[in-house]
Chain A
Amino acid sequence: MNSYLASHVANLPPSGIRKFFDLVATMKDVISLGVGEPDFVTPWTVRESGIFSLEQGQTMYTSNAGLIELREELSHHLTKTLGLSYDPAKEILITSGASEAVDLVMRAVLEPGDVVLVPDPSYVSYAPCAILAGASVCYIPTHAKENFRLRVEDINQVYTPKAKLLVLSYPNNPTGAIMQREDLLPIAEFVEKHDLLVLADDIYSDLTYDGTHVSFASLPGMHDRTLFVSGFSKSYAMTGWRIGYVAGHADLIQGLTKIHQYTMLCAPITGQFAALEALRSASEEKNEMVTAYDRRRRLMVHGFRQMGLDCFEPLGAFYVFPDISKTNLSSEAFSEELLKEEKVAVVPGTAFGPSGEGYIRCSYAYSIEQLQEALKRIALFVERRLS
């Protein structure tokens, strides 16, 4: 039946992660460091609030943009935590996870012929969403020696006048890199000069381990040029509730809302009530989770360096991205052989773009005990390859 598929769908390469998932699924007793979601359960107060909304019979559609109480609370929250200012009535749209928000942005602003600039490596959805929106993608390689930060000189290497949208996703999945204010300012200048729009995917903004996260949208002049995307999944361990959001200039949000109203109608109401509670009363639990991730982060970096591998210190998200090139294995070969020999699942860096070659992504959203066991097994594997 493949002939029925639209060619741009048929030609879309399958996710590198999916391929690996299928392989892991056939094996037993695997310790997986391949998971991109928190190991914590949503804080009880948040779950309880979702349950209560169901008991009250809150099971209908909400407005397309989402519950106004949630948008108002979110607007306060963004002002308080990131210094951002969005009108809850016109500048915020609640989506089914940040993933939907990414898709909406791409579809609302891109046309055939447009180019999207995507840092490489980065999260797997940007390029496919851009392609499905009819645009093409230019990867901007980032490097470990620059702490995987995006620099204007790197963008200039690939820049084309057809570029319309720049994706910024920091803290970054898979590298764990962050961008400080001084790293972002030259990018803002570049964006202004070339009249670009920015999709700022700040989903990991709360998981920053060195100072506080600076949002690109908060830089002078960048409010109207930025579509700020985030969600509740990573900060509050709420992946399954599917609540994300996008904020930006009212005209742009209105465009995104048109697509959202015809395709999604609204984000799930139970999740919206839960998200409201998360903003109101789960900041303590959120901070506890961040503290726990920070401990694990240090453990992982220490573990990989002990093995004799170079490991860039990630300052955000919950991934480490060690350099495995010393083993003379490609990322895929390393991941496959590690899985077969030591039953530890990691994700090859190449699943996140060509610049991921020579690296593996290891999530540390696991208990300390699991991480210690995984490190022990990886060390045995690396030792054999290095000797």
Chain B
Amino acid sequence: MLTEEDHRLLKLIAEDCRLTPLDLSVQTGLTAEYIEKRIADWEKEKVIVDYQPMINWARTGKELVSALIEVRVLPQRGYGFDKIAKRLQKFPEIKALFLMSGGYDLSLLIEGKTMQDVALFVAEKLAPLEHVQSTATHFVLRRYKQDGVELLGEEETIQQRLVVSP
């Protein structure tokens, strides 16, 4: 069971995983040894799964096309949707995969270099899979916000504060 303190610590790490145990110790009042041990535990328990920077590829000039794909599948007796999900998550093109409520079953986020790449993946890999009944592909035109971060922030000009005030 994670304590409230643990949750606070995890939140800090989630916000900035570059913080060292020493930084975290100064900013939380917990000891660096304790923090190091907790992080090691969480890595082992897969509470902390990975450390990744968030990159806005649109600003790098790298060609990247993303699409959200709605997929209807036939659930399998004894496995539900898990068996096909396990198969799908192995494809490196699929960056995120969700089981959905509502009008369709699985939602996939796909990334490729070109629209052609994505279209080929859907036509050749995804649609022909056993139990897949239908797919609907929606291309992403622009990313405005990702993982809680506003990517279109430069238009907001923040008035400078007075340099000294009471």
Bound-state CA distance A125–B166 (Å) is 9
Contacts of B166 on A, CB cut-off 8 Å?
A: 15, 17, 36, 123-125, 173, 351
- Identify which of residues 139-166 in chain B touch chain A, using a CB-to-CB cut-off of 8 Å: 158-159, 161-166
Bound-state CA distance A25–B28 (Å) is 35
Contacts of B164 on A, CB cut-off 8 Å?
A: 17, 20-21, 24, 32, 34-35, 345, 347
Contacts of A124 on B, CB cut-off 8 Å?
A: 166
Q: Is B12's beta carbon under 8 Å from chain A?
A: yes
- Nearest B residue to A24 by beta-carbon distance? B163
Say how far A18's CB is from chain B's closest CB, in angstroms: 8
Interchain CB contact under 8 A, A35 and B27 = no
Q: Is B26's beta carbon under 8 Å from chain A?
A: yes
- Given A295-B27, A299-B26, A299-B27, decide whether A21 and B162 contact each other with a Cβ distance below 8 A: yes
Interchain CB contact under 8 A, B162 and A35 = yes
Interchain CB contact under 8 A, B26 and A37 = no
- Nearest B residue to A34 by beta-carbon distance? B164
Interchain CB contact under 8 A, A298 and B165 = no
Bound-state CA distance A298–B4 (Å) is 18
Q: How large is the interface on A (under 10, 10 to 19, 20 to 34, 35 or more residues)?
A: 20 to 34
Q: Is A302's beta carbon under 8 Å from chain B?
A: yes
Mask, A31-45, CB within 8 Å of B = 1, is 010111101010000
Cβ 8 A contact of A302, one of B12, B26, B165: B26
Bound-state CA distance A34–B161 (Å) is 10
Q: Is A30's beta carbon under 8 Å from chain B?
A: yes
Q: Is A291's beta carbon under 8 Å from chain B?
A: yes
Give A residues with C-beta under 8 Å from B. Answer: 15, 17, 20-21, 24-25, 30, 32, 34-37, 39, 41, 123-125, 173, 240, 291, 295-296, 298-299, 302, 345, 347, 351, 368
Interchain residue pairs with CB less than 8 A apart (19): A15-B166, A17-B164, A17-B166, A21-B162, A32-B164, A35-B161, A35-B164, A37-B162, A37-B165, A41-B158, A124-B166, A240-B159, A291-B8, A295-B12, A296-B27, A298-B29, A299-B26, A345-B163, A347-B164
